[in-house]
């Protein structure tokens, strides 16, 4: 039975992210979307992953997209989707949103709860109509970018959507995890302070 992904009503880039995840598990699926941006992003995904695609317009203005991955084509877990969201550029240029994560847990108190809250926080960033222009990781926050991090997939998806992920080089060296990084680019305090100073809105949870 063909799997159906109902992405109607979801803000960019969530439709293409859900489609990419489903294609890693399924050879064929139907995706329902309600805007041209989602259709174009899924077309790019199909092109990059070698999938056949057929788009049908529905009477209510939505679109039904059928994707088929050939048996010879393996899942593309690391594929750069090339997401384009029409509203992201101008908003970020005028007033860039910068998120600073100085810990691999959110809040103080129970450590296990803090890990759960951090996973939820990072994943929720994907659902925002305007994603952050930059995310800065320092102190134990740099562990969020390692290959074993529970939020690595979400961070990679944010990067694919255009978010710049700055990882404190001094912190990486201190924790000796340079070889374990799975996302972001090594940065320095000069660039980090510059990014924070140039933020239109700065969030430090």
Q: Which two tokens stand for residue 87?
A: 């509203």
Same domain, 104 and 199: yes
pLDDT tens sequence across 103-159: 999 998 899 999 999 999 999 998 887 889 999 999 999 999 999 999 999 999 999
Looking at the structure, tell me whether residues 92 and 178 fall in a common domain. yes
Q: Provide the CATH number for the domain around residue 42.
A: 3.30.110.40
Give the pTM.
0.57
Cβ atoms 69, 24 nearer than 8 A:
no
φ/ψ of 10, rounded to 5, equals -95, 140
DSSP 103: S
Q: State how many domains the chain has.
A: 2
One domain, residues 101 and 171: yes
Domain shared by 102 and 176, yes or no: yes
């Amino acid at each position: 039975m063909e799997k159906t992904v109902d992405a109607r009503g979801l803000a960019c880039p969530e439709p293409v992210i859900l489609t990419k995840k489903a294609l890693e598990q399924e050879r064929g699926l139907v995706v329902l979307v309600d805007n041209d941006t989602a259709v174009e992003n899924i077309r790019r995904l199909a092109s990059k992953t070698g999938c056949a695609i057929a788009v049908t317009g529905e009477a209510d203005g939505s679109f039904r997209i059928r994707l088929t991955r050939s048996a010879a084509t393996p899942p593309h877990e690391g594929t750069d989707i090339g997401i384009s969201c029409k509203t992201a550029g101008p908003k970020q240029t005028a007033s860039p949103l910068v998120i600073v994560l100085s810990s691999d847990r959110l809040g103080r108190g129970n450590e296990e709860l803090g890990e759960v809250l951090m996973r939820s926080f990072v994943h929720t960033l994907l659902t925002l109509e305007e994603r952050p222009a930059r995310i800065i990781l320092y102190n134990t926050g740099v562990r969020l970018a390692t290959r074993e991090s529970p939020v690595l997939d979400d961070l990679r998806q944010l990067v694919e959507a255009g978010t710049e992920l700055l990882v404190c080089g001094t912190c990486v060296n201190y924790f000796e995890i340079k070889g374990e990084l799975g996302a972001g680019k090594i940065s320095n305090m000069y660039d980090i302070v510059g990014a924070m100073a140039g933020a239109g809105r700065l969030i430090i949870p």
